[in-house]
């Protein structure tokens, strides 16, 4: 099933520049500096995986992009629009809620926890956002839900409720729900960490299918190194709020340059 319409129309910056750009971004909680003047970019259609130890700033990057957190300094750009700021009288000022909502529509996220509405059917979980936020007709939203559930292998469960599904099935519904909003960018935050080990492979297979059948931009935080190797165009190793190393999956996993990367991968692969 073709899903080439999963993404929205790319903006001017996406055509000739990065879709996501962090410019000297600082994030701190009290005295704890989580991101230290971070500069990094993601091109339209690129799949980038962030790896590194807990507390190194990876998930904070996703939370900033979802506007669940705000920057202390620097600017985040999404498709040429500042996410954290808006222009007023020729100057960048902190973004208001209307600006945040407009830019955030371009971004979908799948969390560690499934966050499905337990009182709604699978169908309603997937169609509610497109109908009420995007203004899509119920008929179109229903057709889209059926197509996406077919993609994730759960079309037969469209009228079930989340409590009737396994954890792996709930996470696959969460992926379908995120894609139903037609985001340009899909953020994945340790999407298998809350699953029993035997359910992990099925969810990762779905995400491999999404990567192979769409041109959606993906930014992924994971400890599943095999998955990172399979789907990524580029891997970034984070440590203490900075990028310690970046490269292709073949280079990072096959011949890392930095001792910190080698130490981290050895520890993860030995315990994985």
pLDDT in tens, 106-152: 999 998 888 899 999 999 999 999 999 899 999 999 999 999 999 99
pLDDT value at position 7?
33
Q: What is the mean pLDDT of the chain?
A: 90
Question: What is the pTM assigned to this prediction?
Answer: 0.88
What percentage of residues in the chain have a pLDDT greater than 90?
72
Answer for the pair 75, 64: CB distance below 8 angstroms, yes or no: no
75 is written with which tokens?
Answer: 């600017």
| Gap between the Cα atoms of 31 and 17, Å rounded | 34
Q: Is 129 left (phi over 0), alpha (psi -120 to 50) or beta?
A: alpha
DSSP assignment letter at 163? G
* Number of other CB atoms surrounding residue 88 within 10 Å: 11
pLDDT value at position 4?
35
When pLDDT is averaged across residues 254-266 and rounded to a whole number, the result is 96
Encode burial over 186-214: b for 16+ CB neighbours within 10 A, e otherwise.
bbbbbbbeebeeebbebbbebbebbbeeb
Q: Where are the beta strands (DSSP E) in 30-176?
A: 32-43, 47-51, 73-78, 81-82, 85-88, 91-94, 107-110
Q: Does the pLDDT of residue 12 top 70, yes or no?
A: no
Q: How far is CA 138 from the centre of its chain?
A: 26
| Gap between the Cα atoms of 267 and 66, Å rounded | 30
| Gap between the Cα atoms of 75 and 61, Å rounded | 12
Q: Which domains does the chain possess?
A: 12-271 (3.40.50.300)
* Secondary structure of residue 22 in the 3-state scheme: strand
pLDDT in tens, 78-105: 998 888 788 889 888 888 888 888 888 8
């Amino acid at each position: 099933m073709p899903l080439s319409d999963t993404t929205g129309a790319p903006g001017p910056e996406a055509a000739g520049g990065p879709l996501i750009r962090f410019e000297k971004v600082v994030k701190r909680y009290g005295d704890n500096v989580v991101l230290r003047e971070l500069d990094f970019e993601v091109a339209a259609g690129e799949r980038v995986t962030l790896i590194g130890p807990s507390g190194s700033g990876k998930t904070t990057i996703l939370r900033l992009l979802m506007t669940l957190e705000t920057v202390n300094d620097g600017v985040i750009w999404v498709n040429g629009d500042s996410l954290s700021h808006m222009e007023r009288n020729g100057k960048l000022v902190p973004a208001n809620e209307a600006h945040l909502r407009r830019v955030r529509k371009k971004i979908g996220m799948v969390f560690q926890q499934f966050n499905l509405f337990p009182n709604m059917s699978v169908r309603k979980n997937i169609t509610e956002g497109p109908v009420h936020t995007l203004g899509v007709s119920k008929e179109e939203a229903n057709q889209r839900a059926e197509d996406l559930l077919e993609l994730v292998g759960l079309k037969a469960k469209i009228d079930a409720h989340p409590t009737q599904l396994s954890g792996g099935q709930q996470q696959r519904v969460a992926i379908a729900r995120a894609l139903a909003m037609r985001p340009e960018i899909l953020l994945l935050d340790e999407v298998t960490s809350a699953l029993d080990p035997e359910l992990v492979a099925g969810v990762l297979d779905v995400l491999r299918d999404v990567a192979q059948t769409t041109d959606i931009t993906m930014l992924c935080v994971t400890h599943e190194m095999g998955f990172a190797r399979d789907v990524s165009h580029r891997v970034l190793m984070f440590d203490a709020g900075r990028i310690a190393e970046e490269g292709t999956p073949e280079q990072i996993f096959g011949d890392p340059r930095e001792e910190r990367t080698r130490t981290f991968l050895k520890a993860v692969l030995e315990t994985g």
